[in-house]
Structure 1
Amino acid sequence: MRYRRLGNTGLDVSVLSFGASSLGSVFRDTNEDEAIRTVHEAIDAGINLIDVSPYYGLTKAETVLGKAIAEIPRDQFFLSTKAGRYGADVFDFSRERIESSVEESLKRLHTDYLDVLFLHDIEFVPVTIILEEAVPTLLKLKEQGKIRFAGICGLPIQLFEKLLPQVNVDAIISYCHYSMNDTSLLGLLPLLEENGIGLVNASPLSMGLLGTRGTPEWHPASPYVKETCMKAAEYCAAQGTDIAKLAVQFSTRNERIPTTLVSTANPENIRKNAMWTDEPVDEGLLLHVLEMLKPVHNETWLSGRPEYNENIGVSR
């Protein structure tokens, strides 16, 4: 496993990190014992950053993760969770709720501090609450020692372009924007690097787009994007390769992307993902797949308020 520095935090994080959303049965029903073994397998494979949220499984992911990491020395991993989103349409970024959310998370996770606290999906609320109340609350929590670093996360690239010049944060989570079908995150890197802001890239499979199982019903991509990605996945399968391997290797090979989050509740899956990061990439296959995905390159979808979704056209 390789490691890279997360902005100016001083944290050297594994190029592959563990997203614990799957522990909350977000994608399928999961077995708790198997989920706990998955976390242990991730640590054994050299993964040292674990991310979760009270939103995932409505606190189930944090609860299961807490049981898993209770058996692991705290200095063997970095832990991040989130605050502000608690349901599909439930957002509360008030000072009181962020503070109480952190206390609840600390109890579920059986720890007395968080390495990073992210404000979760902030594109859904007015910017004033983020600037005037939520971010100042994070800075207060840093002073109190309950969190080491503060961050924000969301889907639209415009969200970060507009807010990062206005807020004092240490890291961001961006998802579905640095994968084989969408590399628009590259345009944000100069802003992040200039300000020493750490980057966590999430979902190299674009929330299931890059796979042969098909996307979940709720996936917001257009039918054309889904169809194009499915063809690429099926082509890889015909060549005897899982497109997930290519996707993980693609997202973790870029030295400017500190770490990429993957989520699973299967011990074998996380073991394979970790191994893939150290294996050579099939360059010929990668070039062919990137060519297949060109028609939908950087196509995304709407998320949150209109001011963060300007110039996003309707997909075919």
Structure 2
Amino acid sequence: MSDLHSQLPPLILGGAGWSYQCHPAPDALPVANVIRQAFDSGVRAIDTSPYYEPSEQLLGKALQNASITKHYTRSDYILMTKVGRIKSDQFDYTPAWVRESVSRSLKRFNTDYLDVVFCHDVEFVTEDDALGAIGELLKLVDEGKVRNVGISGYRIDVLARVAQSVRKRYGRPVDVIQNWGQMNLQNGRLEVEEGLKAFEDAGVQTVLNASPLNIGLLRAGGVPVGKLGDFHPAPEGLRSVCRDVAEYMTSQGESLAAVALRYALWRAEATSHDHFRVCTITGISTIADLTENVNTSLTILNPAEKSPTSVAGATLDHSQLERDGRLFDKAREMLGDWSDYSFTSPDPGWSPELKKIINPSEKSDS
């Protein structure tokens, strides 16, 4: 059984911030400096994907920087990436591509193993596609190139169903599930019985809650717009009310981003127990992002005595939680009918079998 749940820090550095989706010029960002400071702060786990172009390349180069290699060895940090999603509308879950993608990631990171490889956005492909890809990843585990196998996506029901099927077909659970945008101040659907409980029932011990700010929705200044334009799925009504909530938090001497991160970290700790752990992935692009996220984390998590500035080994600060309670309640009240609103993933016309958007005539012919 994987011991990943005992190895991960409560806060994980998300590599999507170094992508064209989230930033107009990720190549210009100080990636090595951010990683060095993250590691020094106890944030020694990174999650990325080849889909977050050019995140893998930038991270790989940064991890070979002397400022990092002089102080940290490969075994000091956890490196997670994904396979299967190539572009917004292009997927390849074939065993051959899974193996090729892992090989490419190993070269980019100049490492002989990856701590976790996820099948990326499993709701876009068939269950058989996902199971086949997982089977190939399990072979790579046997070969020592991958240590843990996971699935990621937005659709909680699909994640739960695939996890159950993995256990039936391979006689073992997936090691970790990553879900995004559904354990945060606006949307808490991951906590319903069909979410975390279903994952645990499938034998999963580690769940990663990605995007506690819901891809930048829960912050002042609006959603991030990168080189590829505005990709955020939130409708204008939800964006508008989030702007109102951000203004309210500012009037209270707070930032919505900080309040939202504290909420997500609270829920992660509240839903974890001895053999089941929820950790939070937050997108970080700059030193300022990192500093804000670590400092915010340390207001809701009591640091371990041995390292008062590290999020590693931290426990929940109940006094801060009491102070935050009214802010959480007010935000949910202001969100009103938008509370627990979920996005549609994939788009209604998407065919997991054909892996493309199809029109009504194609549906009737098939």
Q: TM-score, normalised by structure 2?
A: 0.77
1:230 aligns with 2:250: no
Amino acid at match of 1:94: T
Instruction: Select the residue among 32, 36, 39 that pairs with 1:40.
Output: 36
1:53 alignment partner in structure 2: 49
Distance in structure 2 (CA, Å) of the matches to 1:249 and 1:73? 30
Larger deviation, residues 134-143 vs 64-73: 64-73
Distance in structure 2 (CA, Å) of the matches to 1:101 and 1:31? 22
Alpha-carbon displacement from aligned partner over 1:90-123 (angstroms, at most 9, x marks no partner): 1100000000100100010111101100001111
Alpha-carbon displacement from aligned partner over 1:127-159 (angstroms, at most 9, x marks no partner): 22112x211101111111111110010111121
How far off its partner does 1:197 sit?
Answer: 3.2
Equivalent residues of 2:209, 2:280 under 8 A apart? yes
How far off its partner does 1:124 sit?
Answer: 1.0
Instruction: Select the residue among 174, 185, 196 that pairs with 1:189.
Output: 196
Q: TM-score, normalised by structure 1?
A: 0.89
2:18 alignment partner in structure 1: 23
Q: 1:142 to 1:11 in 2, by over 3 A?
A: farther
CA RMSD in angstroms comes to 2.1
Amino acid at match of 2:250: A
Gap runs ≥5 in structure 1: 1-5, 309-316
Distance in structure 2 (CA, Å) of the matches to 1:246 and 1:192? 27
Gap runs ≥5 in structure 2: 167-172, 273-277, 300-319, 351-366
Distance in structure 1 (CA, Å) of the matches to 2:11 and 2:114? 19
1:174 alignment partner in structure 2: 179
Equivalent residues of 1:49, 1:78 under 8 A apart? yes
Distance in structure 2 (CA, Å) of the matches to 1:283 and 1:115? 36
Distance in structure 2 (CA, Å) of the matches to 1:137 and 1:307? 29
The count of corresponding residues between Structure 1 and Structure 2 is 301
State the percentage of identical aligned residues.
Answer: 31
Equivalent residues of 2:113, 2:145 under 8 A apart? yes
1:100 aligns with 2:96: no
Amino acid at match of 2:59: L
1:214 aligns with 2:222: yes
How far off its partner does 1:288 sit?
Answer: 1.4
Larger deviation, residues 6-15 vs 31-40: 6-15
Instruction: Select the residue among 240, 263, 276 that pairs with 2:253.
Output: 240
Counterpart mapping for 1:1-316 below 5 A: 8-28=3-23, 29-32=25-28, 34-57=30-53, 60-70=54-64, 71=69, 72-131=72-131, 133-167=132-166, 168-187=173-192, 188-194=195-201, 195-215=203-223, 216=225, 217-254=230-267, 255=269, 256=271, 258-279=278-299, 280-281=320-321, 282-304=324-346
Equivalent residues of 1:17, 1:49 under 8 A apart? yes
Q: Which runs of 4+ in 1 moved over 4 A?
A: 305-308
Distance in structure 2 (CA, Å) of the matches to 1:123 and 1:307? 13
Amino acid at match of 2:73: P
How far off its partner does 1:306 sit?
Answer: 5.9
